[in-house]
Chain A
């Protein structure tokens, strides 16, 4: 069965600093990978996705992610964090349109 691990439960960065959120997956075939963001009490918003092709994918709000098959990783990055980026971030892998999520990383942004 597929699984997703997000090793960092909570990360704090200063506004303007760079960000990297880690995601490792376990999946037997070519994975369909996603990053979603959730503000408190809200639903999930799709940031970006990887299906195939270029291993560096661009998303909304200035986020990007890099797929590394050799490391089974799909880390999310942003060069300069804004205070509005404070939220919970979830990595997920899809199989037949059913998503398996990691436990999430809560991002706090310091002024």
Chain B
């Protein structure tokens, strides 16, 4: 049983570019949440997708957008990258209304 997978593992971009990160949920999971973890800090909630709709959003600008596909996988898009967007981006998945979330290994994004 595969767990949560994310791609790519590492990414380097320059300021102003756009990036797309991908997440495949654990088998049986249909809720996907994205988190940003800056160096030395705890993860911060970006947004959550369920039934292909954004259900909740944290305190992040509209440059951060996402999508959930019919197979429950998800993408996180970040436009007009800033140096401060350099972080580990974590995907967490869960099952329906259940509160427990399981995390993927993350994508480390470096913006130069």
In the complex, which of the residues A41, A94, A101, A104 contacts B108, with contact meaning CB atoms closer than 8 Å? A41
Please give, as numbers and ranges, the residues of chain B lying within 8 Å of A42 by CB-CB distance: 105-106
In the complex, are the beta carbons of B48 and A98 less than 8 A apart? yes
Q: Is A28 an interface residue (CB 8 A)?
A: no
Please give, as numbers and ranges, the residues of chain A lying within 8 Å of B102 by CB-CB distance: 46
In the complex, are the beta carbons of B103 and A44 less than 8 A apart? yes
In the complex, are the beta carbons of B41 and A98 less than 8 A apart? no
Please give, as numbers and ranges, the residues of chain B lying within 8 Å of A44 by CB-CB distance: 43, 90, 92, 103
Query: How many B residues face the partner with a CB closer than 8 A?
Result: 28
In the complex, which of the residues B94, B103, B105 contacts A36, with contact meaning CB atoms closer than 8 Å? B103
- Residue of A whose beta carbon sits closest to that of B10: A41
18 A-B pairs in the complex with CB atoms less than 8 angstroms apart? A32-B99, A43-B4, A43-B6, A43-B105, A44-B92, A46-B100, A46-B101, A51-B99, A90-B43, A94-B101, A96-B56, A97-B94, A97-B98, A98-B33, A98-B58, A99-B35, A101-B42, A102-B42
